[in-house]
Amino acid sequence: MPQSLPAAPGEARFTLLPTTRYVGWVAVATGAVLAALGPSLVWQIVSGGAALAVLLATWAVGKRRPILIVDDAGYRVEVAGNERFRVLWSEVRRVLHDRSEAAVYVDCGDGRRNLLVPPAAGFAFTFSDRERLVQGILARLGDKIQEVDRLDKHTLPARGQAAAQSSAPTSVKPGS
């Protein structure tokens, strides 16, 4: 897991984690084994060099992972120490909460700044310590929470779109 600055008093940091985060480390281990067991010196050098290159790339990507920072004022996203955006709790319109999956969707009306803490399975990303993240959001926005069976049954704005005022279903049955 990438190292980040310690959280300031009153804030909590959560690293965005791709579900494929272990692939690089498996490739490094495979390259190291091939380098150690290679049939020739050339094979060992090539395998060792490839393992080293993947190791450095994996480390560099980890240093640039987005960090979600939650505090008493709201949440913000930083990448490599640079703030990408910020949302104040007062800007949040609604929070869709799927209790069975411990997932939330925080809707601030701007699809580019909304926050999805996805279910544990089925998404290409998650957050470190996601249970604590969900509980922190719910504790701060209790009056805006809407309990839902599943997040994917509700209209969520696409990236860059403004949020819809209602959570109407995404499809209509024929004849209705």
Residues 109, 136, single domain; the answer is yes
* More confident call, 81 vs 2: 81
Does the residue 158 lie in any domain? no
pLDDT tens per residue, range 80-111: 889 999 999 999 999 999 988 889 999 998 88
| Single-letter code of the amino acid located at 60 | A
Does the residue 132 lie in any domain? yes
Residues 147, 71, single domain; the answer is yes
Q: What average pLDDT does the structure give for the chain?
A: 80
Q: Which domain holds residue 121?
A: 67-153
In this predicted structure, the answer to whether residue 17 has a pLDDT above a threshold of 70 is yes
- pLDDT above 70: percentage of residues in the chain: 80
| Single-letter code of the amino acid located at 110 | D
Does the residue 120 lie in any domain? yes
* More confident call, 77 vs 172: 77
Q: How many CB atoms lie within 10 A of CB 75?
A: 25
Residues 92, 147, single domain; the answer is yes
The total number of structural domains that make up the chain = 2
Backbone angles phi, psi at 57, to 5 degrees: -65, -40
Does the residue 131 lie in any domain? yes
CATH number of the domain bearing residue 118: 2.30.29
Residues 107, 54, single domain; the answer is no
The Cα–Cα gap between 148 and 158 comes to 19
Does the residue 149 lie in any domain? yes
Residues 76, 141, single domain; the answer is yes
Q: Could you tell me which of 130, 108, 139 has the C-alpha nearest to residue 14?
A: 130
The Cα–Cα gap between 175 and 149 comes to 25
The Cα–Cα gap between 155 and 169 comes to 6
Residues 149, 86, single domain; the answer is yes
Does the residue 89 lie in any domain? yes
Residues 133, 107, single domain; the answer is yes
3-state secondary structure the chain: CCCCCCCCCCCEEEEEEECCCCHHHHHHHHHHHHHHHCCCHHHHHHHHHHHHHHHHHHHHHHHCCCEEEECCCEEEEEECCEEEEEEEHHHCCEEEEECCCCEEEEECCECCCCEEECCCCCCCEEECCHHHHHHHHHHHCHHHEEECCCHHHCCCCCCCCECCCCCCCCCCCCCC
- pLDDT above 90: percentage of residues in the chain: 28
Q: pLDDT-based confidence at 69, cuts 50/70/90?
A: very high
Residues 118, 73, single domain; the answer is yes
Point out the domain boundary residue: 29, 44, 63.
63
- Whether the CB-CB separation of 18 and 62 falls below 8 Å is answered with no
